[in-house]
Amino acid sequence: MKKTILALLLSSVSFAAVAAEVNVYSSRHYASDDQLYAAFTQATGIKVNRIEAKDEELVERLKAEGARSPADVLILADAARLQAAQDMGLLAAVDSPTLASKIPAQFREPNNHWFGFSSRARVIAYDPGLVTEAQAKNYATLADASMKGKVCVRSGAHPYNLSLLSAMMVHEGEAKAEAWAKGVVDNLARKPKGGDTDQIRAIAAGDCAIGLTNSYYYLRLQRSEKPEDAKVIDRVKMAFPDMAGHGTHVNISGGGMLANAPHKAEAVKLLEFLATDEAQQYFANGNNEFSVVAGVKLDNPELNAVSNFKADPLNVAAIGAKRNAAAQIMDRAGWK
Ligand code: FE
């Protein structure tokens, strides 16, 4: 009997050694993530199987797969999306002293259902020939009558804009947030379309004077070696708004462990790896996102040069919780 148990134990140990793997569903779409997962496998021997798709597709897939889902870790950009996944019951709480100590409370869900691993600022991109620096340092300028016909933005249904509006709702109340959204719509130079980089390019092309972008899209163009990108950056500047007030809106890209994860131990290891200096450097050096872990040395002069801004200290889960109300305001404002 004892021998059988020992044999069973040995076989399960060797099975684990051979079969250690973790299945990741990720909506991040940045090339530098390949190296990130390769580094995890190198460090731990755990193989990463990754499925990349848009966030809605991943969530639909997880719902369809239910308890039989092979997914262990879900990685999404923006707290609004992670909070939505949690509200659907997809995520399990992860009790990790490592994550609790390394990830600032602002950047994780209070009950540890998900964690932010990189942060990004929602900044203003502008043509300094048409908009002053003082104007660009204020989200209110986008809704100011002086900007009539000069604003380019992506869809109001996109989580990046929903989360910015959610933060305003928390700080200023719903009525003021709605007045702002309506003001932005009144100032549009064209119908909302494209991603953040498209708004920066539209400003460079003279289609508009001011818009919103996540900081890493601007920094990517700034660090690009392509002459056409250098021309864009010559023409377009970036400003961190509201530093005199609540601070610039910051959001996260992050992830959590799925409630039905078949490889729970490996899932926690991967999440903890994402908080190591090595992983933080991939986010920062590879994709120009701010490190959320304190004291990580970054090899990215352009990112370091702008890291010293005053960020809004609002908890990202509190922002994510407002997403449905924010979407209703966007609808009423006509920010399609
Ligand atoms: Fe993005």
As averages over each run of 10 residues, the pLDDT of the chain (336 residues) reads 49 54 92 89 96 94 96 96 96 98 98 98 98 98 98 98 97 97 98 98 98 98 98 98 96 97 98 97 94 95 96 97 98 98
**What pLDDT does 16 receive?**
46
Residues 6+ apart with CB under 8 A from 120: 214, 215, 216, 250, 251, 252, 253, 289, 290
159/320 Cα distance (integer angstroms): 9
Q: How far is the CA of 17 from the centre of ligand 1 (A)?
A: 36
47/169 Cα distance (integer angstroms): 42
DSSP-derived 3-state class of residue 305: helix
89: exposed, middle or buried (C-beta count within 10 Å: 0-12, 13-18, 19+)?
exposed
Q: How far is the CA of 200 from the centre of ligand 1 (A)?
A: 14
DSSP-derived 3-state class of residue 72: coil
Residue type at 41?
T
Name the E strands within 129-197.
151-152
**What pLDDT does 33 receive?**
87
Q: How far is the CA of 329 from the centre of ligand 1 (A)?
A: 22
Beta pairing class for 21-26 and 73-77 = parallel
**What pLDDT does 29 receive?**
75
159/143 Cα distance (integer angstroms): 19
Q: How far is the CA of 290 from the centre of ligand 1 (A)?
A: 13
Beta bridge partners of 116: 254
Q: How far is the CA of 6 from the centre of ligand 1 (A)?
A: 50
Q: How far is the CA of 77 from the centre of ligand 1 (A)?
A: 7
**What pLDDT does 32 receive?**
77
Q: How far is the CA of 197 from the centre of ligand 1 (A)?
A: 9
**What pLDDT does 4 receive?**
52
Dihedral of alpha carbons 187, 192, 195, 201, sign:
negative
Residue type at 46?
I
DSSP secondary-structure letter at 91? E
* 117-132 as b/e: b if 16+ CB within 10 A: bbbbbbbbbbbeeebe
Question: CA Rg, the chain, in Å?
Answer: 21
**What pLDDT does 5 receive?**
52
Q: How far is the CA of 166 from the centre of ligand 1 (A)?
A: 18
319 close to 165: Cβ distance less than 8 angstroms:
no
Q: How far is the CA of 158 from the centre of ligand 1 (A)?
A: 10
218 close to 240: Cβ distance less than 8 angstroms:
no
Residue range 169-214, pLDDT digits in tens = 999 999 999 999 999 999 999 999 999 999 999 999 999 999 999 9
**What pLDDT does 18 receive?**
52
